Structure 1
Amino acid sequence: MTISPFEALACPLDGFALQKNGSNWQCDAGHSFDIARQGYVHLLPVQNKRSKDPGDNKEMVAARQRFLSTGFYQPIAEGLNLSVFPEGFSEPAISCLDAGCGEGYYMRHLADNAPKNTSLALMGLDISKWAVLSAAKQDKTPAWVVGSNANLPVLPGTLDRILCLFGFPVYPEFARVLKSGGEVVQVDAGPNHLKELRQIIYPELKEPKQGHEAAPDGFTNLETSVVCFNLALPDKDAISDLLAMTPHLYRAAAEGLARAAELESLNVTVEATIKRIRKD
């Protein structure tokens, strides 16, 4: 496996191709974006922000990094790799975007376990500058970008794969930047994901959705797999870090969060659904 530079960045203001020029990226219209000393570039215009500091905050990113660095979710990373590089994979080079990359755990795992004869051009994007900063500090190889899935700063028809893990897929944007035949590999929480924790923090659980989901417009479903395993959280810190990287931190009432804070340890079910969908 070799890593090649990711060169398909687009100006978030006009969509023109960005060219790297020393310590910044520039488009033909004269827009320029500085590369931070940590190695990432900020391509989220202020008019596209819904808040002053969108996405996960510094503390949430730190919790995610602590939790994932323990290897608790390694089976999900391994399942993701099998979906990106399925049996019979033989492409000599792919360009891959992690849309909602967080602190980069899954992209690093993907790069470390890619086929030896495949060249990867990697880009990680997140709306949280704290997440991208953390990712860039840990690995300088991919292109790390602060940006939004709703307006991807990527040239049309340039990507082979898009990863979307526990995130917010924007299928029209994904279709715009994927090549014909390119794939989205999407990871979502399964119906039993963290069920034991949810039973503690919520008065009652909603019934899971049933049935097969149709492919988004312009896409075809390829395959779906499930990663399911039991996870033993050994202490309060691990429980707190897990909760901090889920939407339940904001959805649960104070009483439910207080019950979780009293736990000394917890066994939980981890269930992730991995879907491959192909652009028509």
Structure 2
Amino acid sequence: MSLFRCPICSAPLTRGERTYTCPNGHSYDISKEGYVHLLPPNQMHSKTPGDDKAMVAARNRFLSAGYYQPLRTALEELALRYAPAPCAVVDSGCGEGYYTAGIAQALREAGRSPAVAGIDISKFALRWAAKRDRETEFAVGSAYRLPVPDGCAHLLVNCFSPLAAEEFHRVLKPGGVFLYVVPAPEHLWELKEVLYDTPYPNPDETIPYEGFQLLEVVPVETMLHIENPEDLQALFQMTPYCWKTPKAGVERLRALSQLEVRAGFRIHVFRRDMA
């Protein structure tokens, strides 16, 4: 049974060999990589919304090298703590599926029989995601109009992606849990020192969201030992810094062959109210 619903009429979708179909006759082709496009044209603000091919490739290279494994491990542990058996999991802004695949695998190995859906607005990201994990469903869609039914998910994950609290409340079951990952104040500080003359820390705040109770904030801290310029450039290209760094900062980074840089994350764990 698919977690997806039709973006036109909201009816349940059934996955076939090559298409998803709904009872009202709407049909959506499954790409050769394995994802489906469920973002209607009137919700697309450009021809190819979301992260482009180069940014996606850089992030896939960096994440696949294991630099952010501590964050993935922490998310897996939280999923095992909060997800029942069986369970449904939605990853909003799943990107290349690195964290989605880790969570899905941990739940499968623990016998939780998860149904997992990853949703991202970038088709380039989903090409990697769908190849990374063939058992998980992936769809092009908007975080603000997730193509899944009301109250379908026991667990919702959001890593460095747009936060749509009202939509996440709709999608989660009463009592369901939302894992929200944000950068810690000094995340990638040493990289920022190379790029900018006066770097500034990220805000460290916990914002209450209507309809959710904050259960805990889990810090994840690690030092990255980046020992080749290719991975260093991949880190830079996968961040928003690549869009707004002065030319002098870019040149300073290109002159480096290695860098030790701290990575810090905060996982905010929210529970949806029962109402």
TM-score (norm 1): 0.92
Matched, 1:77 2:72: yes
Matched, 1:168 2:154: no
- What is the aligned partner in structure 1 of residue 215 from structure 2? 222
Distance in 2 separating the partners of 1:127 and 1:97: 14
User: 1:243-276, CA deviations, whole angstroms, 9 ceiling, x for partnerless residues?
Assistant: 1111111122222222211111100000010111
Displacement after TM superposition at 1:232 (Å): 0.8
Identity of aligned residues (%): 36
Structure 1: gaps spanning 5 or more residues = none
CA contact (8 A) 2:120 2:141 kept: yes
Report SS of the residue matched to 2:47: coil
Determine which of 93, 103, 106 is the counterpart of 1:100: 93
Structure 2: gaps spanning 5 or more residues = none
Deviates more, 1:194-203 or 1:15-24: 15-24
Displacement after TM superposition at 1:90 (Å): 7.3
Distance in 2 separating the partners of 1:223 and 1:213: 10
CA contact (8 A) 2:3 2:117 kept: no
- What is the aligned partner in structure 1 of residue 12 from structure 2? 17
Matched, 1:32 2:23: no
Aligned pairs for 1:102-117 within 5 A: 102-114=95-107, 116-117=110-111
Distance in 2 separating the partners of 1:207 and 1:92: 40
CA contact (8 A) 1:132 1:145 kept: yes
Distance in 2 separating the partners of 1:30 and 1:10: 13
Report SS of the residue matched to 1:222: strand
User: 1:2-37, CA deviations, whole angstroms, 9 ceiling, x for partnerless residues?
Assistant: xxx5x2211112322222344212223322111112
Deviates more, 1:55-64 or 1:107-116: 107-116
- Corresponding pairs, count: 272
Distance in 1 separating the partners of 2:187 and 2:201: 13
Displacement after TM superposition at 1:214 (Å): 3.5
- What is the aligned partner in structure 1 of residue 149 from structure 2? 155
Displacement after TM superposition at 1:111 (Å): 2.4
CA contact (8 A) 1:100 1:164 kept: yes
Displacement after TM superposition at 1:68 (Å): 1.1
Distance in 1 separating the partners of 2:202 and 2:163: 20
Aligned pairs for 1:230-241 within 5 A: 230-241=223-234
TM-score (norm 2): 0.94
Distance in 1 separating the partners of 2:3 and 2:171: 10
Aligned pairs for 1:1-280 within 5 A: 7-86=2-81, 91-114=84-107, 116-210=110-204, 212-280=205-273
Q: Which runs of 4+ in 1 moved over 3 A?
A: none
Letter paired with 1:135: A
* Distance 1:194-1:222 versus aligned 2 partners, 3 A rule: same
Distance in 2 separating the partners of 1:152 and 1:268: 35
Report SS of the residue matched to 2:175: strand
Letter paired with 1:113: A
CA contact (8 A) 1:202 1:252 kept: yes
Distance in 2 separating the partners of 1:255 and 1:21: 52
Distance in 1 separating the partners of 2:242 and 2:46: 19
CA RMSD of superposed structures (Å): 1.6
Distance in 2 separating the partners of 1:213 and 1:272: 13
Displacement after TM superposition at 1:95 (Å): 0.4
CA contact (8 A) 2:83 2:154 kept: no
CA contact (8 A) 1:215 1:277 kept: no
Distance in 1 separating the partners of 2:130 and 2:83: 29
Letter paired with 1:29: N
